[in-house]
Amino acid sequence: MEKTTGAYRLTQVSAIYDFYQKALGSHRARNTIVSNHIRPKENDFVLDLGCGSAEVLPFLGDVNYVGIDRNQGHIDNAKSQFADQGIFHCGDFSDARNFSKEGYDLILCLGLLHHLGDKEVQDLAKLAKSLLLPDGRLIAVDPAFVENQNPIARKLAQWDSGQNVRMPEQYCSLLSNSFSNVSFKVYNNLLRVPYTHCITTAQNQE
């Protein structure tokens, strides 16, 4: 579920969402997340669920990229920027099987899980497991609530349009139904403003 009324409606507009992200420092955040956590290899098959305008794509290098998002404006924007670098589908993540093949090295959920209810996250984990190669990984990035959190970071998490911002352990627990090895790392310094990011990695091999 997400908030879509009032000012939140603006985040549905692709250009406004991307401008707001860049102003907050998303470039440095993406660099850190890609180099420390996603770590794509050349020619990896990458499925990006809730891809938005696929702003992460230039950071991934030479990969085989499929992005899915249910917002047609974001998908149109992705196609206009990166037409020859990936395949983009407008639809719900739960339809991923219809849009793509099995055998992904990486499944990305960058800013998606906190928009989904618990059952949807568990269903997503089950689907991701079935689409990943045995040594593939799911990487999720979401805002989080943590103890002794900076009050501004806490407020920003509360104001997020996603209505299911969780504690890191809760993101992990929902993915643990399908994955044997789930871990998280919290960052408080990736943006120009105080903000708590939780990077969750789920896989079935060490």
Ligand X SMILES: C[S@@+](CC[C@H](N)C(=O)[O-])C[C@H]1O[C@@H](n2cnc3c(N)ncnc32)[C@H](O)[C@@H]1O
We find the least distance from the C-beta atom of residue 55 to ligand X, in angstroms, to be 5
We find the least distance from the C-beta atom of residue 120 to ligand X, in angstroms, to be 7
We find the least distance from the C-beta atom of residue 126 to ligand X, in angstroms, to be 15
Closer Cβ to ligand X, 44 or 120, answer by number: 120
**Which residues have a Cβ under 8 Å from the Cβ of 99 and sit 6 or more positions away?**
66, 68, 89, 91
Q: Which residues bind ligand X (CB under 6 A)?
A: 50-52, 55-56, 68-71, 74, 92-93, 110-112, 115
Tokens for 102, please give them.
């099995």
We find the least distance from the C-beta atom of residue 14 to ligand X, in angstroms, to be 8
Closer Cβ to ligand X, 132 or 141, answer by number: 141
φ/ψ (deg, to 5) at 150: -55, 130
Please state, in angstroms and as integers, the Cα–Cα distance from residue 155 to each residue in 113, 139, 198, following that order.
Answer: 19, 25, 16
Closer Cβ to ligand X, 34 or 56, answer by number: 56
Closer Cβ to ligand X, 64 or 204, answer by number: 64
CA atoms within 13 A on the CB side of 129: 18
Let me know: does 139 contact 50? Beta carbons within 8 Å.
Answer: no
